Amino acid sequence: MALAMAIAMAIVAGSATASAATGFPVEFPLVEGSTPVAIAAGPDGNSWTADGASNTISRVGPAGATAAFIVPTPGSMPAGIAAGPDGAMWFTGRAANRIARITMTGAITEFALPAAGAAPTGITAGADGRMYAAAVGGIVTVAMDGSIGLVGLPPGSRPEQVALIDGQVWYASPDTDEVGRVSGGTVQSTRLASGGRPYGIAQAPGGGAWVTLPGGNALLRLGADLQPVGRFQIHSGQALPVAVQTGADGNAWVTLAGIGSLARVTSGVVPESTSPPTVIVASAPGRPAVSELGALVPGMILAADPGAWSYIPVGYMYEWQRCASEDVASCRRVADPSGPVGVTGAAGSSYAVSTADLGLRLRIVVRAASLAGPGGAAASSLSPPVAIGPAAGSIRPLSARAEIGGQVSAILLGPADHPRGRPGRYRVAFTSPRALGTVAFRWRNGDRQAVVENVLVVSGRAACTWTPPSNWPGGRTTVTADFRPAAGTAFTAARMRRTLSIR
């Protein structure tokens, strides 16, 4: 309890606002009579749903634009949908005994299954470039050219859902209380306790699978050996857990069909840094704009970008450090120079450079926390030494700022010089975590153009990585970021632009 309290107190105030923003519900109506039963993310940045009642596949954009495509076979009853390796979505037609492919523009091609009554349901992409669908009699495989195969399962197996887990296709068969996996055409399976009726299945963090047990009103976690390693009982009676997915926060999210609710089961994972934090100059004497970290002088206000983490954190802990040299062993906490290096408290994400910093280098150390606790610490690179007096021309403008309403600004950040063939991180930082929507990044040099669309704004940031091709023209390149607010919010669209040098 004491550790949990310490973690909670160390998380910087404001994370509650971020949680409220990410939980803001907006509804987007589909075609009349729809009862969507499956959803999957598409390679185009849209969400795609399968709807058995209206016999349609719907496409829903991040801002809420919807389009519905009627399945050619009447009464097909789409039951599952997943993105394929060919850039299209694949779905099952349970009543029509078909598996079908739909392009991003809505063109549908159907493939009839040779065995009558297969009634395919769940579908997933395999690691071998084929689609795998749960069906009566086994697992149906479909190659990208439409050729169909079948992987037989133990007698009586009737899988309902399949998922790619640890590079292999796993299945759940409620009628036989069985969970298994297909590897190289061979099948391994295990029988669970009778009456659990395993149904939904998904990858668990760190390996193994989450499996819902509608008959046991529980969520089960299986290890890589197919054996149970944890069982989590749903407290509400008749909850009927059905579908499960590992969320961006690393936890299991379960649909409770019996009571119309969603449950979260914490997995114990903590965020780990995948891109280190950075420090920018938020303001400086005579220079109120956000700038690249050049020479530092007293009076500047620094701001920390926490970087990217393996799972969406619930909050961050910040610690500013002074370093006597380029050796990080010389770094000491600003708040307590005699203390050891490491995040021990919430110092805040901004810092005012003072005369006490003269001759020293600065950096930020960040630790992100999940519901299970804090992850490992990540540190920014060291700043140049703090100088005496203003350093004219030492700060190069790095960003373009735009107002999006509600006293919220959006700021485009990225490298000033970008070598060909090397990845660079570009991001739009918002001055409030309330900002919701997507960002499209576009790089242009003459008639050459590169685009990254539909980057989702999460906790006040939208980031992507771009690598200039080896044949990209050298010299000046313009990068543009277009912010598109989510429907139902008070924010307005905005465009930010700046230039960089390709070399």
Looking at the structure, tell me whether residues 183 and 38 fall in a common domain: yes
Looking at the structure, tell me whether residues 250 and 277 fall in a common domain: no
Alpha carbon separation from 254 to 166, 170, 236, 242, 407 (Å, rounded): 20, 18, 13, 7, 37
Looking at the structure, tell me whether residues 132 and 190 fall in a common domain: yes
Looking at the structure, tell me whether residues 289 and 200 fall in a common domain: no
**Whole-number Å distance between alpha carbons of 170 and 292:** 48
Q: Which helix (H) or strand (E) holds 483?
A: strand 475-485
The per-residue pLDDT for 407 is 83
**How many other C-beta atoms are found inside a 10 Å radius of the C-beta of residue 424?**
17
pTM for this prediction: 0.65
The per-residue pLDDT for 23 is 44
The per-residue pLDDT for 190 is 94
**Whole-number Å distance between alpha carbons of 143 and 160:** 20
Helices (H) and strands (E) in the chain, counts: 2, 41
CATH number at residue 373: 2.60.40
Which of 265, 288, 305 is the endpoint of a domain? Answer: 265
Which of 226, 243, 265 is the endpoint of a domain? Answer: 265
Structure tokens at 240: 């009927």
The per-residue pLDDT for 253 is 85
Residue 33 included in any domain: yes
CA angle 206, 208, 212 (to 5 degrees): 120
The per-residue pLDDT for 39 is 83
Report residue 200 CA to chain centroid gap.
Answer: 21
Percent of the chain's residues with pLDDT above 90:
45
Q: What are the phi and psi torsion angles at 406 (to 5°)?
A: 65, 30
**Whole-number Å distance between alpha carbons of 139 and 303:** 53
Domain with 431 in it: 401-502
Which of 265, 292, 307 is the endpoint of a domain? Answer: 265
Q: Which of 28, 27, 30, 108 is nearest to 67 (CA)?
A: 30
The per-residue pLDDT for 1 is 28
Residue 386 included in any domain: no
Residue 3 included in any domain: no
The per-residue pLDDT for 341 is 52
Contact 213, 198 (CB under 8 A): yes
Residue 4 included in any domain: no
Looking at the structure, tell me whether residues 421 and 498 fall in a common domain: yes
Using 70 as the pLDDT threshold, list the residues of the chain that sit under it.
Answer: 1-27, 284-294, 336-347, 388-399
Sign of CA dihedral 210, 211, 212, 217: negative
The per-residue pLDDT for 260 is 75
Q: What are the phi and psi torsion angles at 9 (to 5°)?
A: -70, -25
Looking at the structure, tell me whether residues 120 and 235 fall in a common domain: yes
Residue 393 included in any domain: no
CATH number at residue 494: 2.60.40.1930
Looking at the structure, tell me whether residues 97 and 234 fall in a common domain: yes
Looking at the structure, tell me whether residues 436 and 338 fall in a common domain: no
Looking at the structure, tell me whether residues 358 and 421 fall in a common domain: no
The per-residue pLDDT for 11 is 28
The per-residue pLDDT for 343 is 54
Strand-pair category, 494-502 with 417-418:
parallel
Residue 59 included in any domain: yes
**Whole-number Å distance between alpha carbons of 87 and 92:** 17
The per-residue pLDDT for 17 is 32
Contact 277, 306 (CB under 8 A): yes
Q: What is the domain count for the chain?
A: 3
In the sheet that holds 448-456, the strands lie side by side as 417-418, 494-502, 475-485, 437-445, 448-456
Residue 17 included in any domain: no
Looking at the structure, tell me whether residues 46 and 113 fall in a common domain: yes
Exposure string over 27-44, b if 16+ CB within 10 A, otherwise e = eeebbeebebbbebebeb
Looking at the structure, tell me whether residues 341 and 431 fall in a common domain: no
Looking at the structure, tell me whether residues 420 and 365 fall in a common domain: no
The per-residue pLDDT for 25 is 56
